[in-house]
Structure 1
Amino acid sequence: MIEFEMDQVINHETGVQPMINGVQSAIWIIPMLDRSTSFSGGAFGGSWGTIDHVGPYAIATMNDVEGLGLAAGDDGDTLTINGTDYTLLAIDPDGQGGAVLKLDEQP
């Protein structure tokens, strides 16, 4: 089994830095904005399989999610990715140091 640190996988070479509630963040995420429902995580040591969400989402580390105190739901945070605003709907930890951030594009 190959072990790796999630924060070494999501970085300036693989991700983008979103704005959170209008402020530039220091975290890195991997945005999946094309409404794909699966993520092949070869660099993550395998496949993440199917994402239970039909809208846009992003992959982040739980350390970043917790460090920023990101909140999901009706009063969820706004992430601006590549100039488009998204409401954070849910945070689903993967149990291995990562999380799927389920997003909803704002009109």
Structure 2
Amino acid sequence: MEDLKDLVIIGSGPAGHTAAIYAARANLKPFMFEGYVAGGSAGGQLTTTTDVENYPGFPDGIQGPELMQLFRKQAERFGTEMVGEDIVEVGFSKRPFVIKSE
């Protein structure tokens, strides 16, 4: 895919989704490469975590995959475009930066 994007986020864990939400609310039109983990699920390590008991707002805890679904839903609500591809190469030596995916 050859396309110029305002903002590219590599990774779909909690940090990636947080960046997407903030960027989208600032009208930057974020584009997220989700990547994959074992089992073919995007979302970072949190998708393989069972009980998340140290995240504010969930006094009884929450399952990792359920929390990731909430992150994703919120990022999508603000217009984050997501693609399930892995990044194979990144070039920062010139502008615009070059990102190659599978």
Shorter-chain TM band: under 0.3
Counting helix residues as a fraction of each chain, which structure ranks higher? Answer: 2
Structure number, greater radius of gyration? 2
After TM superposition, the score normalised by the length of structure 2 is: 0.28
Counting strand residues as a fraction of each chain, which structure ranks higher? Answer: 1
After TM superposition, the score normalised by the length of structure 1 is: 0.27
